[in-house]
Amino acid sequence: MPTLELTQANVVPTRVSSLEEVRELLATDGAAIVSGVATEADAAALAAEILGDRLIRLGRQFEASKRHYEAETTRIDHLPADPRGRKKQYTPPSERMHPHNDGFSFGDFAPDYLFLWCEHPAVPSGGDSYLVDAYKLVQLLAEDDETRELAAFCWAQDIDQSEPSAPAPYVAPIARRVASGRVQVRSNPYFMAMEGPMESAHEPLVRRWQELVVAARDEGPTFRVEAGDMICADNYRLLHGRYAYEDVTRTLYSIWGWTTEGVAVPNETLDISAPVVPTAR
C-alpha cells in the first residue's frame, strides 16, 4: 500500500438546514445532509430548489431496499455474461457496496447530482453510508511517489466503463474535466482496460484504482442516516455506497438530477435494470 492517507478522501457530510448552506457544501465538500424531509415528494421538491435555475431534469430512479434487490436480482439472473466475461449483478444487502457513482450504466447521461432520501433506516443498526471524494483521491495519488503513475493514467487513458448487458460501450478516462469546468471522476465494479495492444499494461492500473477505491471505503468513516434525512451529493465527484444490513424495512430512494453543468441529459426515463441507449434532450 502507498504511504498516502486514504481517509483524507472520505467525506462525512455536514447536516444543514438552509438552501444556501447545502449549495455551499456541495461546491466545497461535494455533499451535505438535510433532515426533516417528510415525504419523497418533499425530497424531490427540495432537491429542485437546491439545484435552482441550473436544473434541467429531476426524478426518482429506484428504491434502495432489500425487496427491490430481490426483485431486480430475479429479473437479471438469466442474463448471460458479456463478451469480456462480466455478468451484471447487484450487491446483496448482506455485503458492502462497491463505491460508485449512480447511473454508470449510462455513461455521459449519468446525472450530475444525486439525492438519497431515507424513508426507513435499518433497525436497530446496519446499512450505514459512506462517501469517497474520488477527485481528492486522484489528487492524493498524484502526491505520492508510489502512485503518481496511476494518477496520470486516470487522467490520460480511456478505459471501458460499460456495464454487462448495457447496449452501448462507454469509453472515457477515469478522471476528466467536462465542458462546464466541473471535474468528473468515476468508479464502477465493471471497469476494464480497453481491448487492444495496451490492454495487458493498462489492466493492472485499472485494478489498482479499484483496489484503492475499496481501501478508501474500508479505512474511512461511515455515517448513519435516519428517517427524513436526505443526502445531497455531487455525483460527478463523489463515490457512495452502504454497509451491510438485514432489516427488510430499510428504504432509501435515489433521486437523480441533471443540470446545465452536466455532460448530457437524456430524453428517456432511465432504467438501471434494463438500460437503453439514451438520446440527448
For 226-271, write each residue's pLDDT tens digit: 999 999 999 999 999 999 999 999 999 999 999 999 999 998 787 7
pLDDT band (50, 70, 90) for residue 1: very low
pLDDT at 167 over 80: no
pLDDT at 15 over 70: yes
Residues 6+ apart with CB under 8 A from 157: 173, 194, 198, 202, 205
Q: What is the pLDDT of residues 104-145, one digit of tens each?
A: 989 999 999 999 999 999 999 999 999 999 999 999 999 999
pLDDT at 2 over 50: no
**DSSP strand pairing (15-16 vs 31-34):** parallel
Q: Model pTM greater than 0.85?
A: yes
Is the pLDDT higher at 175 or at 280?
175
Residue type, 272: I
Domains and CATH numbers, the chain: 6-259 (3.60.130.10)
